[in-house]
Amino acid sequence: MLTRIDHVGIAVASLTETIPIYEQAFNLKCVHQETNERQGVREAMLLVHSGDTGGSYVQLLEPIRDDTPVGKFLAKRGPGIHHIAYGVDDIDAALASLTVGGFDLVNKTPVHGTSGSRIAFIHPKGLGGVLTELVEAAAGH
C-alpha cells in the first residue's frame, strides 16, 4: 500500500526563520511554498530525495491562526514533529482498507494537499500517537 515516506511535517512558529536553518544544516533546497487555508497552514517543502515513486521532503508548517491544528499543537507542545506522511498510489483504495480495519480516519474522503495532491489524515490515537497522512501525488509530481 505505501510507496515511500512522502514527508515529515514539522510545526514551526516562523517559516522565514526556519527555512534557512534547514537549508544550511542539511544543504536542502526549498522547492515549493503554498498556503492551505482549509488546513490553516503556510507550508514549505524541502526536497530530501527524488525517487522512482516520487519525492521525499521535510515539510515545515507555520499556522495561519491559533485555532488551527498546527496552532493548537504549537501552543500545547511547542515546535516539533507534527505528523508523518506516506505516499500511496491509490488513496481511495487505501482509505477503504483502513476503514475495514477499523482505523479512525480524520478525513473519510481525500482533501486538497500540497501541490494538488489528494491527502487524508488518520487519527494519532490508533497509530502509536503519531498523526499520519496519506498522499496521492498529482500527476507529474
Between 27 and 131, CB nearer to ligand MC0:
131
Give strand pairing partners of 83. 9
Query: Hey, which residues between 17 and 76 contact ligand MC0 (CB under 6 A)?
Result: 36, 39, 41, 43, 59, 61, 69-70, 72-73
Distance, in Å, from the CA atom of 73 to the CA atom of 76, rounded to the nearest integer, reads 5
114 binds ligand MC0, rule: CB under 6 A: yes
Please, which residues have CB within 8 angstroms of residue 60's CB and are 6 or more apart in sequence? 10, 12, 15, 18, 19, 22, 43, 44, 46
- Among 133, 134, 136, 137, the residue binding ligand MC0 under the rule CB under 6 A is 133
Q: How far apart are CA 41 and CA 141, in angstroms?
A: 21
Q: Which residues bind ligand MC0 (CB under 6 A)?
A: 9, 36, 39, 41, 43, 59, 61, 69-70, 72-73, 82-83, 85, 106, 113-114, 119, 121, 123-124, 129, 131, 133
